[in-house]
Amino acid sequence: MFIGISGYNHESAVALINNEGILIDYCKEESLSRIKGDKSFPKRALSKIIKKNHIKKDLISHIVFYEKPLTAFLTPLKTASSYLPKSLSFISHQLRNFDNSSISCFTDLAKFAPGLEKKLSYIDHHLAHTLTALPYSRKQKDLCSIVVDGFGDRSTASISYIKDMHDIKELWSSDYPHSLGLFYSSITDFLGFNVNEGEYKVMGLSSFGNSNSKLAKIVFNLIKWDDVKNNIVVNLDYFSYHISISDSFSKELIKLLGEPRNPFKKLQPGDKDFQKFADIARGAQDITNVILSKIFSYAYRITNSNSFLFSGGVALNSAALNTLADLNFTKDIILPPSPGDSGAAIGSALYGFIKSYPTNLSIKKPSLFPTAFSIDDEKDKVKKIINESFSIISENKFESLKLCSELIHKGKVIGTVISNSETGPRALGNRSLICDGMNLKSVNYLNTVIKNRSPFRPTAPAMKRITAEKYYEIKSELYQSYFSMTATCKCRDPKANNFPTTHIDGTARIQIVEDESILGQLLDILHPSGVDILANSSLNLSGDPTCFDLIDGLMFCSISPLEYLLTDLGLIKKLA
Amino acid sequence: MREEKIIEILHETLHAEHGSALEMLATSKNATKSSHVNGYFHHAKDEYNHSKTFQSLLAKRANRLPPDIARSYRFSSIGLLKKGYVSKKGFLIETMKLKDFIAYVYTNELLAKDSFSKILKLLEINSGDYIKVSDIMTDELRHHGMAKEYFLRYYPTLQPWQLKCYKLREIIKNKTRIIYYKNIKFLDKVFNPIYIFLSFFAALLLNHLNVKYFHRTNANLMNISSRSMF
């Protein structure tokens, strides 16, 4: 057995790979702590995985951590030391918080799982990302891996050539602090959204902006690709993420763009300042598309490969993928469902497996729902909650699905807590809020009333392949991404432009569902009534992690206007 | 000045209430008896609702602040760990004995009610915000009553004076925590110039660090030693 661990910088997670290279369990710490973006050592996730899978410690061959801790600790310090005296507080803070950095992984492991620390090893951060993406590709040799994130032990972006899984050669990297990810996060911060959480909002907001506006052009020029040196260059006069703990952008940026957004002010189309902030977001999105295109073009030039693995936090920018797929040399772009740091726990565990089986040349594709969850663990515990505050409408699985379909057809929103949960940040049906994707009233209710989200953020549509091909421009280069909702696509049929799940720019982040999945089964029942598209959003309130177990689901139902929950116990209704 | 003080209190209380919601949810999940799971579930639900109320009270006031100040009052649940409202060691139920945990809830609900009455003094009487906070106080008293009942049912030999001791212990702990944080802040101010001075020398040394060693261009990443932290 092989365990991979990620943590300390972004959401922490643990992955378990068996001796056949199959991902058998994966768990994010935030799912158990209920703290969104929990980056502390994943003690609960590790304990849950060990207990749930009845693993004895001597069966664990390797525990692999997703970065080189000392490199990750020293690189920002070295950079900050060139900006004295402005960076003194930053350096002082980093040195004093030495024990909160990933260097503590060894001692934390010794504390929470004594004995396992002796099996701990560390791998290059971007290698962990590459290995996370690799099993999702059918082709597992002679391809190119592109990793773009905020910062990963020493670089902020890299290109590697995968001859086979034992020979992964790095060919190019972009040095910290010149980072596309940190640039995007700083703009997120400027726009009043939480860093590492609000980047999706910037992406959604950018569609309302005008690329030709003055502000969009200014933001566009804050970062560039140097065609001579083939590197990312950030104009650091306007940013301070490399020298400050609290501020990601400098006063110069405020002079340039005006006051940043007050995070407590509602941002709604038509409001004062909405266009200003949308234009800023547009500029950030435009330059992100350009720089990613440049990185892909350069990667093609140096590797001659037209199949790409794409991972790292920036790969979550689904709006950029269409531009990349349109590059004339691109054949395939493969993204893992969780391309960010939490997913890198999977790549780390795989490293242990690959190293232990040197003759093995392929890894099986992991399930989209690898996080083990069994209702048997909770069935008896939740009895009283259900008896007191809910009623089980039906315990029969097929009847529950039928009743759900009727409710969806009538315009109701249904929550789901079914079986194993998803790896990535996108809900794919097992921890979702769903409704009729063609019913404007239902989609608006789901988005703005149940989830309390800003109306400028779109809700994703889920559908069968045949429906997707009818309404949307499906790109073969991104085909795999549509199953994990990691790419957007343009509407093909003009009718689709009017669907409530279509964003203002005529795109949608579609999900193609498998026939046997819960959404697939629901769509089969709904098809005769004309509902071929479901709106699908994650089962969580704004700022909370996605629900993990049934108690979380029941809690969501209790504190939100949601009435129905489809679970492994059947269809449950909240009592008035 | 008064407005900013209110905002600061609302911000801290929001953290405290959200932290309590997570504590109670974790306790509900840890409980084995269905009735206990249900009791803590409803307690958590109340705390979530309180947290929502404080979030809206905070938003209403903070949206009038200049953006640079307002930014510092943003709420994200990760702040619970940073501010210590949820311990990095784990939830209370994961680190305390059950008896101590119940005593903790019993006394802290009463103390929470006291701190809400202080918040009420800052708000305009009979305003919407005042009524919302009063409702929360009623909830806190109910939780206190429930915890007391629960405590006495499971530990019937406990005498009222022992409960008073628990309360006194919590009051002392809370006061000590405040003194500790105030001292930390004070000591931080005293020692900061020393830290900065030492950091300056560390920075001079760091300037000589050759990060070329970290570069891996043309290296097979699979062959880099996995035992090394570099």
Q: pLDDT tens-digit profile of A438-476?
A: 999 999 999 999 998 888 888 999 999 999 999 999 999
CATH of the domain at A400: 3.90.870.20
Q: In what order do the strands lie in the sheet with A533-538?
A: A390-394, A570-574, A564-567, A414-417, A432-436, A533-538, A460-463, A511-512
Does residue A118 lie in a domain region? yes
Q: Are residues A511 and A426 in the same domain?
A: yes
Among A31, A264, A272, the residue to mutate for chain B (most B Cβ within 10 A): A264
Confidence check: pLDDT of A351 > 70 = yes
Check residues A398 and B120 and name the one with the higher pLDDT. Answer: A398
Does residue A170 lie in a domain region? no
Q: Are residues A351 and A308 in the same domain?
A: no
Confidence check: pLDDT of B1 > 60 = no
Q: What is the mean pLDDT of chain A?
A: 95
Does residue A165 lie in a domain region? no
Residue A532: pLDDT band (50, 70, 90) is very high
- pLDDT at res. B166: 78
Q: Measured between CB atoms, does B218 come within 8 Å of chain A?
A: yes
- Determine the average pLDDT of the residues in A97-111: 93
Q: Which residues of A touch B17 (CB under 8 A)?
A: none
Q: Are residues A348 and A425 in the same domain?
A: no
Residue A560: pLDDT band (50, 70, 90) is very high
Number of domains in chain A: 3
- Helix ranges, A5-102 (H): 29-33, 43-52, 69-80, 88-96
Does residue A308 lie in a domain region? yes
Tell me the residues of chain A between 430 and 449 that have a Cβ less than 8 Å away from chain B: none
Q: Are residues A352 and A408 in the same domain?
A: no
Residue A518: pLDDT band (50, 70, 90) is very high
Q: What is the pLDDT of residues A199-252, one digit of tens each?
A: 999 999 999 999 999 999 999 999 999 999 999 999 999 999 999 998 999 999
- Which residues contact residue A133 at a Cβ distance below 8 angstroms, ignoring those fewer than 6 apart? A145, A309, A310, A311, A334, A335, A336, A339, A347
Q: Measured between CB atoms, does A388 come within 8 Å of chain B?
A: yes
Q: Are residues A419 and A296 in the same domain?
A: no
Q: Are residues A393 and A288 in the same domain?
A: no
Q: In what order do the strands lie in the sheet with A167-175?
A: A167-175, A155-164, A143-152, A307-311, A332-334
Confidence check: pLDDT of A385 > 80 = yes
Q: Among all chains, which residue has been given the structure tokens 């941002």?
A: A267
What share of chain A in percent tops pLDDT 70? 100
Does residue A539 lie in a domain region? yes
What share of chain A in percent tops pLDDT 90? 92
Q: Which of B108, B83, B120 is nearest to B6 (CA)?
A: B120
Q: Are residues A267 and A324 in the same domain?
A: yes
Q: What is the pLDDT of residues B84-135, one digit of tens each?
A: 889 989 999 999 888 888 888 878 877 787 788 888 888 888 788 888 888 8
Does residue A361 lie in a domain region? no
Q: Which of A531, A484, A508 is nearest to A315 (CA)?
A: A484
Q: Are residues A110 and A214 in the same domain?
A: no
Q: Are residues A207 and A228 in the same domain?
A: yes
Does residue A128 lie in a domain region? no
Quote the tokens at residue B158. Answer: 């406990």
Residue A203's domain comprises 180-334
Q: Are residues A314 and A351 in the same domain?
A: no
CATH of the domain at A259: 3.30.420.40
Confidence check: pLDDT of B182 > 60 = yes
Q: How many CB atoms lie within 10 A of CB A434?
A: 27
Confidence check: pLDDT of B187 > 70 = yes
Confidence check: pLDDT of A286 > 90 = yes
- Is the bond preceding residue A85 a cis peptide, omega within 30 degrees? yes
Q: Measured between CB atoms, does A170 come within 8 Å of chain B?
A: yes
Q: Are residues A459 and A557 in the same domain?
A: yes
| Binary contact (B221, A168; C-beta < 8 A) | yes
Tell me the residues of chain A between 66 and 95 that have a Cβ less than 8 Å away from chain B: 68-71, 74-75, 77-78, 80-82, 84-85, 87-89, 91-92, 95
- pLDDT at res. A361: 85
Does residue A175 lie in a domain region? no
Q: Are residues A224 and A197 in the same domain?
A: yes
Say how far apart CA A391 and CA A263 lie, in whole Å. Answer: 39
The shortest C-alpha distance from B228 to chain A (Å) reads 7
